[in-house]
Amino acid sequence: MKKFSTRTMVFIGMMAALSCVATLFLKVEIPTPLGKTMFHFGDVFCLSAAMLFGPIGGGLAGGIGMALADLLGGWADSALTTLLFKFLEGVICGLIAYSGHRCGRKLGFNIAGAAVGTVAYIALYLGKSFVKAVWLLHTEVGTALTDCSVKLLNSSIKGVVSVVVAVALTALLQKALREKLS
């Protein structure tokens, strides 16, 4: 396993903090039949961290950052699944962006990584939402599907925005880091 330098660990921690803050404060809450979901910008920093620091860095930044947002924002019951699902989103994005020794430097692979990571997260999130609604809350299947359809629409729009913003932010940060570190 690759060891992280102190500088890289600090950057990953900063990305986790930015992910937490963006989730808590750069958001719009949307009502659903079974509660609410939200449109937020926390994913941007998970995906950017994965493209900048690889699969583990992205997974840690996204998982820790958004799990902290759940704990601080009143969604403590979701914190553990958020930690796992966002970690996986970052890992998947980073694996694709870093495949073939590309190290997050190829635009096409960054876009593909961010998109596949986001789709994987959406599938996990909707699966969890459906299972929770039907098996734990004993909701009618039709109501659970309606709830999931609202969440799917929101998550898809949020996902597209997150991929576009994360890829653009990553390009800017890569340039700044190259200039600063050289």
Which residues does 34 contact at the CB level (< 8 Å), separation at least 6?
133, 137, 139, 143, 144, 147
Alpha carbon distance 66, 50 (integer Å): 14
Taking residues 111-138, report their average pLDDT.
97
Pairing of strands 27-32, 35-40: antiparallel
Question: Above pLDDT 90, what percent of the chain?
Answer: 84
Q: Count CB atoms within 10 A of the CB of residue 42.
A: 28
CATH of 6-181, one of 1.10.1760.20, 1.20.1600.10, 3.40.309.10, 3.40.50.300: 1.10.1760.20
Which CB contacts under 8 angstroms, 24+ apart, belong to 5-8?
8/53, 8/57
Q: What is the pLDDT of residues 34-82, one digit of tens each?
A: 777 788 999 999 999 999 999 999 999 999 999 999 999 999 999 999 9
Spell out the domain ranges in the chain.
6-181
Taking residues 124-137, report their average pLDDT.
96
